[in-house]
Amino acid sequence: MAVLLEERQGAVALLRLNRPETLNALDSALVSALGDALERTTADPGVRAIVLTGNGGAFCSGADLKEALRDLDGGLPLAERLAAFQRNVRLIAGAKQPVIAAVDGAAVGFGADLALACDLRLLSERAYFEEKFVGIGLMPDGGGTFHLPRLLGLGRALELLLLGDRLTAGRAVELGLGLRAVPPSELVTQALALAARLAEGPPLALAKIKHATRASLFGTLDEALAREASGQAELLGSADLREGVLAFKEKRKARFSGS
């Protein structure tokens, strides 16, 4: 059985974690397969949006602890194992395309961090986040300490990270961590519809917006303005701009080419 399922619907790529018997726990095979798929998909100019989800009523329950302990007992260097996990976070954050996490059921530990790395999160009504690392004497290692303070603020982030409490779908939406909570049966359908909407947008502009917004988490206002000016100068010379203006004048839907 493939541990990762890949589908294409037009310009949208759908990646499904597929170890339902473990709530899609991340073993080395799944971590490697996801990294390879993300690398391939994000480099494909025909892909304009990506949806990441899990099979079997769960998003991802985090690292496969049985395998992790076996690897550590066997002398596998921790840095090597962690680098493989973190590769996925870097690929999601660095992708030109918008990446949507469709979170059903558990998003725990590194699974929570994987969802937090995505640009948008659509939740099922039974979804929950749990930064459970502290419960076994560990700390987040997939970007949780980076993303949570920026998404929720320092106080709320420390509450979740220090206590390891569960954050329900409804509360996550209230706090702005998810777009909305939908019935589980509608989750992937609605995520794909959202991705299709993004895929119809101007890919050059979306990539610039994503990069500039993420980069704005560092540095100064002047640096952010400089990034915006540079990106806008490039976009002003694009065919997509001309198509967008023409479509506006002709009162029709724009057909963006990414050029």
Averages of pLDDT over each 10 residues, the chain, 259 residues? 96 98 96 98 98 98 87 74 91 97 97 97 98 90 93 96 97 98 98 98 97 91 86 89 88 93
- Bridge partners, 17 (sequence order): 4, 54
| Cα angle 38, 12, 150; round to 5 | 60
- From 87, 93, 96, 94, select the one nearest 47 (Cα to Cα): 96
For residue 249, the model assigns a pLDDT of 85
Pick left, alpha or beta for residue 128 (phi over 0 → left; psi -120 to 50 → alpha; otherwise beta): beta
For residue 138, the model assigns a pLDDT of 86
The CA R_g of the chain, rounded to the nearest whole Å, is 19
Rounded Cα gap, residues 38 and 97, in angstroms: 11
For residue 220, the model assigns a pLDDT of 83
Identity of residue 164: G
CA dihedral sign of residues 16, 22, 26, 27: negative
Q: Which residues contact 152 (CB under 8 A, 6 or more apart)?
A: 160, 175, 176, 177
Structure tokens at 254: 């724009």
For residue 50, the model assigns a pLDDT of 98
- Give pTM, 2 decimals: 0.92
- From 72, 88, 167, select the one nearest 128 (Cα to Cα): 167
- Fold type of domain 203-250: Lyase 2-enoyl-coa Hydratase; Chain  A, domain 2 (1.10.12)
**At 246, is the secondary structure helix, strand, or coil?**
helix
Domain 4-199 = CATH 3.90.226.10? yes
Domain with CATH 1.10.12 in the chain: 203-250
Q: Strand order in 120-124's β-sheet?
A: 4-9, 12-17, 49-54, 99-103, 120-124, 181-182
What is the separation of C-alpha 138 from the centre of its chain, rounded to a whole number of angstroms?
23
Structure tokens at 196: 């299709």
HSE, side-chain direction, 13 A CA sphere, residue 206: 22
What is the separation of C-alpha 70 from the centre of its chain, rounded to a whole number of angstroms?
29
Rounded Cα gap, residues 69 and 223, in angstroms: 44
User: Length of the chain in residues, anyone?
Assistant: 259
